[in-house]
Structure 1
Amino acid sequence: MNFEQVVQAIDKHDTIIIHRHVRPDPDALGSQGGLMHLIKETYPSKNVYIVGSEDPSLTFLIEMDTISDDSYEGSLVIACDTANAARIDDKRYNKGNMLIKIDHHPNVDEYGDIMSVDTTASSTSEIIYDLFLYAKSHGYEMNDQAARLIYGGIVGDTGRFLFPSTTKKTFQYAAELVTYNFDRTALYDGIYNTKETIARLRGYILQNYKLSESGMSTIKLTKSILSEFDVSVMETGQLVGVLGDVEGIKAWAFFIEEDDLIRVRLRSKGPVINTIAATYNGGGHPMAAGASVDSWNEVEQVIHDLDQACLSYT
């Protein structure tokens, strides 16, 4: 996992700037913010920043810093929870002195001077806690803010500990993290409370999804539909799991129309889907992946590929 190299790099740099992927989720923000608080707690004199575009629905977790390009001079840059360099939010990530990748996705894009990748981890937040346990011998200290964010990231990426990626270690880490002083109820409410507009679009999805004989399901959310329900493209990320409890569905795809492309969100209960995502400018986990296509004609190709994956799955 290269934790020793990560700890040494942090120790040697006075400025650390932490990035994560575009369109953040709780794990992206939890690992990014949790690592920031760990470093600040351990090294109060270091300058530690977190950067990236804000998602208004997730600012309750943590808010980003605004820094100048000059801040990157001689800095250590860390990218959390980002499989592909192209998906790192804030393209200044390559302006620092050194780049570290910390991630739990398949390591298809081996970027960075140091890589700490564990595909068996439930989340990148779990890896950050792994790093903390390793670094305790170097004087690292946990605080309430770090614990809250790391716990929130684990909760988000395990679907409240329901996904198969949840392991005995995940539960052990969660048990240790909840001994710190933060409001778990408020954290869960922030992650899972639903705006009325989102709830109404959820109803539309459940009434209009398509289901094939293979067990493949799809829903198309055009710009006009999103406008009708007053839901942004970014907010649709809260809805991808809606079809997961429907009996008979093996894998599903959300097609979300943006101004210049169609976002593809893929989920599965069995068929491997990240190979499909990789064909269409994307990637991810075997059971949760994303991609993008340029037209509705190309959407039909994705549907065909997903249908074939479901037919082949036994």
Structure 2
Amino acid sequence: MEKQAIIKEIKQNDTIIIHRHVRPDPDALGSQAGLKEIIQSSFPEKEVYIVGENDPEFDYLVKMDTILDATYEGALVIVCDTANTPRVDDGRYVKGKKIIKIDHHPNVDHYGDIQWVDTTASSTSEMIYALYESGKEDGLVLNDEGARLLYAGIVGDTGRFLFPSTTKKTFQYAAELVTYHFNRSELYENLYSVETHILRLRGYILKEFEMYDSGLCAVKLTKELLEAFQVSPDETGQLVQVFGDVKGIKAWVIFVEEDELIRVRLRSKGPIINDIAAKYEGGGHPMASGATIYNWEDADRVIHDLDEACKNYSK
């Protein structure tokens, strides 16, 4: 099985470098850093690093390591929660001697010498806990900090256990993780507290939005609008679920204009959207995806594709 092959590689390598996707979310960071904690707790003699851009929004979770290119020589590289190679944060991942992919997104981009992809898992953090469970007899140890990180990743990617991806196994793993010593209240506060300027923009969106007859909502956050509310493009991730409770909605998309591109955040309550995201340099889950476009004409094309998907969807 893939888990045993991964554990074998971890045991055989002295230097391990762990990557995840660009613009990380709690699951990307939780799985990446949680795996580091497991490996370091289990094998203190190994050198284990996590790399990628630091996102100030998630400083409460973890901060990345800084390493030289030479560190990759002879190293095992593990990429967590990243379906497509263009989305791997830090292109140096190819410099390692072997690459392992651990992910719960559909396996569109087949990369890595070992690939463990489980689309039934709620999150990659859930998979890392499963890896720990499988490897306890081989010496794997989970410490309190690793438990905190994995729990954060599971909570983040299940929307506090509300999303359909949540399974019996998810609840079982979460129940086991909360037996470790970390401050859940503080973690939830950091995950879900919202600054005033974000709330004001959220209020504006809810006041101004219109829903298509098909059940689609689309919002365009231009640079001018973001500047008016003093919201950075990175902070707009806190607005993704803004339409989640709207009655009758089938899917929604939020366009976020940056200097040289427009970030596309897609969510669905039924229609498959990751195939649409793939048309626009993106991908993800069937119900939660992201993409990148470069002009507002392409935004209208995305809206058209989503509108058609909503019209053709039936439960």
Per the TM superposition, whether the score is higher than 0.5 is yes
- 1:181-202 Cα deviation digits (max 9, x unpaired): 0000000011101111111111
Match of 2:127?
127
Question: 1:147 aligns to what?
Answer: 147
Q: Distance in 1 between matches of 2:96 and 2:295?
A: 37
Query: Is residue 102–residue 117 contact of structure 1 (8 Å, CA) maintained in 2?
Result: yes
The residue aligned with 2:161 is 161
Equivalent in the alignment of 2:72:
72
Distance 1:115 1:209 in 2: 41
Q: 2:305 aligns to what?
A: 305
CA distance in 2, matches of 1:220, 1:82: 26
Q: Which amino acid aligns with 2:93?
A: Y
Contact 1:208 1:219 in 2 (8 A): no
Rounded to whole Å, the distance in 2 between the matches of 1:287 and 1:244 is 12
Residue 241 of structure 1 corresponds to: 241
Residue 21 of structure 1 corresponds to which residue in structure 2? 21
SS of residue matched to 1:245: coil
Amino acid at match of 1:43: F
The aligned amino acid for 1:144 is D
Q: Which residue of 1 aligns with 2:205?
A: 205
SS in 2 for 1:241: coil
Distance, in Å, in 1 between the alignment partners of 2:257 and 2:100 is 33
CA distance in 1, matches of 2:273, 2:279: 10
CA contact (8 A) 1:282 1:290 kept: yes
Aligned to 1:179: 179
- 1:279 deviation in Å? 1.1
- The Cα of 1:230 is off from its aligned counterpart by 1.1
Whole-Å Cα distance in 1 between the matches of residues 305 and 218 of structure 2? 12
Question: Identity of aligned pairs, percent?
Answer: 63
CA deviation vs aligned residue, 1:235-288 (integer Å, no higher than 9, x gap): 111110011111121100001111111111110001111111111111111100
- What is aligned with 1:293? 293
CA-CA distance at 1:76 after TM superposition: 0.5
- Per mean C-alpha deviation after superposition, the further-off stretch among 33-42 and 274-283 is 274-283
Q: Residue 120 of structure 1: CA displacement? A: 0.3
Match of 2:62? 62
Q: Distance in 2 between matches of 1:19 and 1:204?
A: 36
RMSD between aligned residues = 0.7
Q: What is the SS of the residue equivalent to 1:6? A: helix
Q: How far is 1:124 from its partner? A: 0.2
Q: Could you tell me how far apart the structure 2 residues matched to 1:288 and 1:77 are?
A: 27
**Count of residue pairs the alignment pairs up:** 314
Q: Is 1:30 aligned with 2:30? A: yes
Structure 2 spans left out of the alignment, 5+ residues: none
Distance 1:256 1:276 in 2: 17
For the residue of structure 1 that corresponds to 2:160, the secondary structure is coil
- The 2-side partners of 1:273 and 1:31 are apart by 24
Q: Note the residue ranges of structure 1 that are not aligned, 5 or more in a row.
A: none
Distance 2:240 2:11 in 1: 40
> Offset at 1:210?
2.4
1:81 paired with 2:88, answer: no
2-structure distance, mates of 1:23, 1:227? 20
Give me the whole-angstrom Cα distance separating, in 1, the residues matched to 2:208 and 2:113.
47
Pairing 1:218-229 to 2, within 5 Å after superposition = 218-229=218-229
SS of the counterpart of 1:242? Answer: coil
Please state if 1:93 is matched with 2:114.
no
**Is the 1:20–1:80 Cα contact (8 Å) retained in structure 2?**
yes
Tell me which amino acid in the other structure corresponds to 2:209.
Y
Provide the TM-score with structure 1 as the length reference: 0.99
Q: Residue 191 of structure 2 aligns to which amino acid in structure 1?
A: I
User: What are the Cα deviations for residues 200-242 of structure 1, in whole angstroms up to 9, with x where unaligned?
Assistant: 1111111122210110100000011111111111111111001
Aligned mates of 1:210, 1:107 — CA distance in 2:
34
Residue 55 of structure 1: CA displacement? 1.1
How far does residue 91 in structure 1 lie from its aligned partner after superposition? 0.8
Task: Measure the CA separation in 2 of the matches of 1:208 and 1:48.
Answer: 48
Q: For residue 85 of structure 1, what is the amino acid of its counterpart?
A: T
Match of 1:263 in 2: 263
